[in-house]
Structure 1
Amino acid sequence: MSTLDGVITGIVDAHLHQWNPRSTPWAANRLSKLYRFVPAFGDRVFSMAVSQADREYVLTPSTVARVYEPMQYLGDASAVTTIAGVPIDTVVHMESHWRSDETAGRAESPAGRSAVEETRYVMGLPFGVGQSPRLGAIVAHADPRSERFGELLDEHSVLTDRLRGIRWITTRHPDPKIRNGADVDGILASTAFLKGFAEVAERGLVFDAFVYSHQLYDVVTLAREYPEVTIVVDHMGAPVGVFGPVGARTGATAGARADILRLWRERMVTLAACPNVMVKMSGLGLPVLGYGRERWGNIGSRGTLAEMVGPLVEHVVGHFGADRVMFGSNFPIDKPNAALDMIIGALVDLLAPRGDYVLARAFRDNAMRVYGIE
């Protein structure tokens, strides 16, 4: 099997979450309040106490109910060097406010405060200590629709010189049993969002877009309106249900899954025509893609993962090219389905036939450039 030894000195993980449910700011969120107490009651209470949408999104409460900081990540990454030939030496922290809140972009609101406090929390974590990877960049939580959006960005910038971008999750799905990250449709293409987004452009920040595949045309609208801003589409555009049934009816039949894949392909081709858009090859083990509902994992092996995501990866790289793709783990959300070394190994296997240039760009160079990592 192929490795990255001799191609790059180390991997950049461009999509990592960190949290401590007992102390991180978003623990004030109504759902994570429940998660805090889940370990004391076990998976049975989790399955009874939260919605199907949330159960399918995280598979197990341990994903979000337990501490996940540099020490835990280092444990997950310990086998990567053996598989890939090089370690993960740099990470990009991705904001973790993954529950919709219409006030979270306001600097004066509790949720707006928690977004700033999350940045403070991340800057206090022991990245770069011992064998732990260094923190290369932060993508913070902020809503361009807020009247005080610029002030909120200023507060983030005061706390860190590693602020490189923002993310505002806008995932919504017509299937009522699939988890929504936003409370309204069409946010990215809305007048208020497009107007406030000027602050992102003026500050030279990157925007990470997390949408489901049927929402990708909203990203096209944003990219055309602001061609000077680099937009990174998270999780390869998240074609929910492409591998199997999720929610109430999504991906329930082979025909439905074929339609999901076909529409995702069409939208990604349109998106690729926007030169300021990149794709993050993250979320390869994202549960809502339809891998299965078992809490102990649903993929099985590196080969199986490569076989399943191969058509997605090939389509993305084929249309976006080597200079517009990058790797991200989406850990610990993807952890129940696939170990970190398995995800990296599968992606190396898929990209290796394209040569060292593609491997170097996907696993290091593009993330370093896009997120301005020294």
Structure 2
Amino acid sequence: MDLAGITVVDAHIHQWDPLTTPREFSGVAKLFKYLPLPVDVAKRLAPRRDREFAGDDPTPFVHPYLPADYRDDAGELPVEAIVHIEVEWAGRQLLAQAEETRWVASLPFGVDTPALGAIVGAADPSSPAFAQLLDAHRSASPKFRGIRSHVDNHPDSGVRSRSAPGVLTSHAFLDGFAALADRELSFDAWVYSQQLPEVTALAARYPEATIVLDHLGTPAGIFGPVGKHTGRNPSLRRELFLRWRDDLTALAANPNTVAKVSGLMMPILGHPLPQRGTPTSIPDLVDRISPLLHHAYDVFGPDRLLWGSNFPVDKTITSIPNAADAIATALTDHGADTAALERVFRRTAERVYGVDDF
């Protein structure tokens, strides 16, 4: 599907350098640098839950991914600006996570690369220093627009999770969240689909806050088996889809929520892994993702959907141009016209993240 001359804002990418900045995966990256291993050997050494999350090629996670790398991956897709989403910045200091915002703002965006439109940093609303950290992020860059917290939890212990159950509904998280709302900052909610009711409750409690659902709620296993028992057969996948559909509908009833059509190519969704270095074909992607996209379009509409490539995380499954093409095709097949596509691929991101002034 031709995007008909629409210039794009990619509302979800990651930039990192685990060799020179402190990341939770810096140790692994340095090990690969000083003890190079063949990809297939490295893959076998990784825990199964990490392999299922990242796919069969750990290369993007152990090397820097910087503006020129993204430019090369974007190819001919006319990306004008990007939104950086936090990536596991580590540090013992109380306000260490604000350093990621400062680091991203210093990267060479906008010369022969897309412009930096906005930064979504890391912070934990349940932390006593949450409000102080938000202010440190804002001081670090005028591009700072909101936060993402590590709240993802899956009931299948074989699926990679980074938090305990129920974090989004804890008193500390809910009470601390007020500092975000007071500052008119957004919250990117990266959760698994089973957590969607918790995001809905958060949106209802703070109707003045903008809640951005990342990756349409990540229904892990929707395309194939992952973990110990998730998505093991078509019946379970159908059940997963129906629950996701109903819970997404309930979330969309809150007008302060928007959803990213992003991360739909993550291996954790159960995609069959293509031959390494060969993107999944666009028709195959369209066939898989269309039911998810069609329902999201029905309940959110183009004014509350925004596209993000989730690169380089989705690189195992597809390329950035193929991902954009597949999503545009699926939406067009469902009745989206050029004006609607422009909202999804640009205008909604401009409004939500304030990326109209580069």
2:165 aligned residue: 185
Matches of 1:196 and 1:51 in 2, distance apart? 34
Matches of 1:17 and 1:179 in 2, distance apart? 19
2:343 aligned residue: 361
Verify the 8 A CA contact 2:273 2:317 in the aligned structure 1: no
Deviation digits for residues 38-66 of structure 1, max 9, x if unmatched?
35112244223321111111122112101
Which of 11, 15, 31 matches 1:14?
A: 11
Shift of 1:249: 1.6
Structure 1 residues not aligned, in runs of 5+: 81-86, 99-103
Query: Which amino acid in 2 is paired with 1:365?
Result: R
Verify the 8 A CA contact 1:21 1:67 in the aligned structure 2: yes
Matched, 1:165 2:134: no
2:354 aligned residue: 372
Verify the 8 A CA contact 2:11 2:349 in the aligned structure 1: yes
Distance 1:309 1:299, change over 3 A: farther
Matches of 1:171 and 1:111 in 2, distance apart? 23
Matches of 2:95 and 2:43 in 1, distance apart? 31
Matches of 2:93 and 2:226 in 1, distance apart? 30
Which of 63, 69, 93 matches 1:72?
A: 69
Which of 39, 54, 58 matches 2:54?
A: 58
2:87 aligned residue: 96
Matches of 1:189 and 1:45 in 2, distance apart? 41
Query: Which amino acid in 2 is paired with 1:138?
Result: I
Matches of 2:140 and 2:147 in 1, distance apart? 15
Matched, 1:110 2:92: yes
2:322 aligned residue: 342
Structure 2 residues not aligned, in runs of 5+: none
1:37 aligned residue: 31
Verify the 8 A CA contact 1:56 1:288 in the aligned structure 2: yes
Shift of 1:111: 6.4
Q: Equivalent residue of 2:313, what SS?
A: coil
Across the aligned residues of Structure 1 and Structure 2, the Cα RMSD in angstroms comes to 1.7
Distance 1:19 1:293, change over 3 A: same
Verify the 8 A CA contact 1:234 1:280 in the aligned structure 2: yes
Matches of 1:341 and 1:294 in 2, distance apart? 17
2:303 aligned residue: 323
Matches of 2:211 and 2:258 in 1, distance apart? 6
1:281 aligned residue: 261
2:127 aligned residue: 146
User: Across the two proteins, how many residue pairs are aligned to each other?
Assistant: 351
Shift of 1:117: 1.7
Query: Which amino acid in 2 is paired with 1:225?
Result: R
Matched, 1:256 2:247: no
Deviation digits for residues 165-189 of structure 1, max 9, x if unmatched?
100021111222110021x111111
Which of 250, 263, 280 matches 1:300?
A: 280
Which of 110, 124, 127 matches 1:128?
A: 110
Verify the 8 A CA contact 2:19 2:26 in the aligned structure 1: no
Query: Which amino acid in 1 is paired with 2:205?
Result: E
2:214 aligned residue: 234
Verify the 8 A CA contact 2:9 2:349 in the aligned structure 1: yes
Q: Equivalent residue of 2:314, what SS?
A: coil
Verify the 8 A CA contact 2:99 2:140 in the aligned structure 1: no
Q: Equivalent residue of 2:296, what SS?
A: helix
Shift of 1:112: 4.7
1:212 aligned residue: 192
Matches of 2:165 and 2:279 in 1, distance apart? 32
Verify the 8 A CA contact 1:325 1:366 in the aligned structure 2: yes
Verify the 8 A CA contact 1:25 1:115 in the aligned structure 2: no
Distance 1:174 1:93, change over 3 A: same
Structure 1 residue ranges (4+ consecutive) displaced by more than 6 angstroms after TM superposition: none
Query: Which amino acid in 2 is paired with 1:21?
Result: P
Matches of 1:285 and 1:210 in 2, distance apart? 15
Verify the 8 A CA contact 1:94 1:138 in the aligned structure 2: yes
Query: Which amino acid in 1 is paired with 2:138?
Result: S
The worse-fitting range, judged by mean Cα deviation, of 89-98 and 260-269 is 89-98
Verify the 8 A CA contact 1:291 1:298 in the aligned structure 2: no
Verify the 8 A CA contact 2:94 2:129 in the aligned structure 1: no
Verify the 8 A CA contact 1:205 1:229 in the aligned structure 2: yes
1:48 aligned residue: 44
TM-score, normalised by the number of residues in structure 1: 0.90
Verify the 8 A CA contact 1:25 1:117 in the aligned structure 2: no
Distance 1:294 1:343, change over 3 A: closer
Verify the 8 A CA contact 2:218 2:264 in the aligned structure 1: no
Shift of 1:4: 2.8
Shift of 1:113: 4.3
Matched, 1:2 2:12: no
Shift of 1:136: 0.6
